[in-house]
Structure 1
Amino acid sequence: MTSDLEALVVAADDPAGLASFWSGVLRRPLGVGTAVLPVTETEFPIRFVPTTAPKDVPNQMHFDLTSSSLEDQQETVDRALELGGSHLDIGQGPDAEHVVMADPEGNELCVIPPGNNFLAGTGTIGALSSDGSQAVGYFWSQALGWPLVWDQDEETAIQSPRGGSKISWGGPPVRQKTARNRLHLHLSPVGDDGVTAEVQRLVALGASRVDPALADPACLAEEWLPLLDPDGNELCVRA
């Protein structure tokens, strides 16, 4: 038994507004309810849900957006700025070829120049780039049934057997988690064993259960089962 990646969930002050920003940047149509970017051939769905929690620390995950040319990279940057994004200084220096930005709610993103071999053959979202340990990369590989496509110097990355966007983890040092993540993954069990068996499998792989009082209220309202991965990052399993 495994789980499918049902969606990346983004907690937002203004879910519809943030969905509109990302729809424009990624050139993906809005789905039902105006706060969903549906699945494409190369990228997973993205859902935007309401939150009242402030964003006061860097996200554990961010998008690395691909470019087909330097002109395409600049067009993506310009489009993000026009839609309400901003440049972001994280100490990358003036010689950095990638462009570091933030969306209107401060969520980090990078626009990568053309010719990046690691992101070749992915999608507009080349990778969901994550702060995390080697162990958490191994966990997610087994949880989703996605093979490791990078495992070196404690950095890991996985990719669906169908291809598309990768999920990567940068290895140590892993930043200490001090608040609930604004981005987390929603999983749907695959097979006939049921959600209880899948939760037990994920716990055996290294996940842990969450006190509902500490879980995302938006997820609990839709009856998702909250867990934490081995690094303490939130995930939810469809009940």
Structure 2
Amino acid sequence: MGLRPVHVNIKAVDASVVGRFWAEALGWVAYTPGVTTYVGPPGGLVWPDPVVVGMDVVPVPGRRTAAKNRTHLDLATTSLAHQAELVARLEGHGARRLDIGQGDVPWVVLADPEGNEFCVLEPRERYRDTGPIAAVVVDCAEPRAMARFWGEAMGWTVHRETDDLVLLRAADGTGPYLELFRSPTAHTAPDRVHLDLLADLGGDKAAEVARLEALGATGLDLDLDQGDVPWTCLSDPEGNAFCVLALP
């Protein structure tokens, strides 16, 4: 039946603070239906949202390490004025600028209140219809190989492909891109950011997990205390964590 991303999962010591920050960043609302803080469009909590890739901020006891996350978000803007306004507003809500060796570029690299990296992009035609999240960007050693895995996993279409960068997007042309970017960064610590996937309506989670494992995914225990939970944690062929969820 296939899988689709339903939210970006971020671990945080103070999930409510980080959730409110991301609600401000995306122009959405932070909802707290339980222990996690979900960030999605205004108008009431809808999960799974039929269109939007939301955000789920999950409380954890330990702060992140100094290692850079291999997964981050790129935020879309509609004009240079919008970009400048968004950066200034987020700095007022606790963001700070980062130098990760990007040099003189037209986008701005920031960190959220707990240090998770993200970029506020200058306006680009490619992202005019993605919504506030332009792309989920994953650093990897072999973008083409990773694109084969993720393309098969979600049925997404390649929009651009080079040795250093592959862009995929849902076949219906909606939502953010998944961008696989060549980087020498070693995977030395668990990421605080990962994708959560959900089987299409009527799909079988166990069958989807088996299909992913046949494609090269491996099992992963993200939390030794998670116990009996309705999701399955996996890692892609380069060790990036993700979870396959079940409908409640």
Give the TM-score of the pair, scaled to structure 2: 0.85
More helix by share: 1
The residue aligned with 2:9 is: 9
- Separation of aligned partners in 2, 1:6 and 1:126: 15
The residue aligned with 2:119 is: 110
Q: Which runs of 5+ in 1 are unaligned?
A: none
- Separation of aligned partners in 2, 1:81 and 1:217: 35
Q: Which runs of 5+ in 2 are unaligned?
A: 42-48
- Separation of aligned partners in 1, 2:63 and 2:89: 26
> What number of residue pairs does the alignment pair up?
233
Comparing 79-88 and 25-34, the one that deviates more: 25-34
The residue aligned with 2:44 is: none
- Separation of aligned partners in 1, 2:52 and 2:204: 26
Q: CA RMSD in A?
A: 2.2
1:13-162 correspondence runs (5 A): 13-33=13-33, 35-38=37-40, 43-55=52-64, 56-93=66-103, 95-114=104-123, 116-132=124-140, 133-134=142-143, 135-160=145-170, 161-162=172-173
Give the TM-score of the pair, scaled to structure 1: 0.88
Determine what percentage of the aligned residue pairs are the same residue: 33
- Separation of aligned partners in 2, 1:219 and 1:157: 33
Q: Select which of 153, 164, 169 maps to 2:175.
A: 164
1:80-101 superposed Cα distances (whole Å, 9 cap, x missing partner): 11111111112233x3221111
**Structure 2 CA distance for partners of 1:126 and 1:218, relative to 1, 3 Å:** farther
**Structure 2 CA distance for partners of 1:222 and 1:196, relative to 1, 3 Å:** closer
- Separation of aligned partners in 2, 1:22 and 1:156: 26
The answer to whether the 8 A contact 1:42-1:165 is kept is: no
**Structure 2 CA distance for partners of 1:193 and 1:48, relative to 1, 3 Å:** closer
- Separation of aligned partners in 1, 2:202 and 2:25: 38
The residue aligned with 1:183 is: 193
- Separation of aligned partners in 2, 1:19 and 1:10: 9
1:99-143 superposed Cα distances (whole Å, 9 cap, x missing partner): 1111110111111112x2443432221111110232122211111
